Amino acid sequence: DAKTTQPPSMDCAEGRAANLPCNHSTISGNEYVYWYRQIHSQGPQYIIHGLKNNETNEMASLIITEDRKSSTLILPHATLRDTAVYYCIVRVDFGRPGNTPLVFGKGTRLSVIA
């Protein structure tokens, strides 16, 4: 079972920041928070991941609370092409084969509106 809780859907106006929340209250100390998204009819796409510190890349920012029980994915300037299902996943990852696989929940369906 997925160890995260996300709202089923959200809307965001084009050009505004999209803030997608995720609760992971049972996260362990060695579990990372991963975000993936899936645009309709495509395979999931990796966005970002983090352990404790906030992270930023060219796609998004990840804000993890100090107690690590929740996080927020921020798309700073949402476009229509960001409309997708966003998945928040927690897992241990040491880069070895045979790790606990990614367990996808139902995610958040983000609709960016013009």
Partner 1 sequence: KAGVTQTPRYLIKTRGQQVTLSCSPISGHRSVSWYQQTPGQGLQFLFEYFSETQRNKGNFPGRFSGRQFSNSRSEMNVSTLELGDSALYLCASRALAGEVTGELFFGEGSRLTVL
Which stretches of the chain bind partner 1, using CB under 8 A? 32, 34, 36, 42-46, 49, 87, 93-106
Q: Rounded to an integer, what distance in angstroms lies between the CA atom of residue 20 and that of residue 6?
A: 8
Q: Rounded to an integer, what distance in angstroms lies between the CA atom of residue 62 and that of residue 48?
A: 7
Q: Which residue's CB is nearer to partner 1, number 26 or number 100?
A: 100
Q: Which residue's CB is nearer to partner 1, number 9 or number 13?
A: 9
Counting Cα atoms < 13 Å in the Cβ hemisphere of 37 gives: 20
Q: Which residue's CB is nearer to partner 1, number 21 or number 44?
A: 44
Min dist. Cβ of residue 75 to partner 1 (A): 18
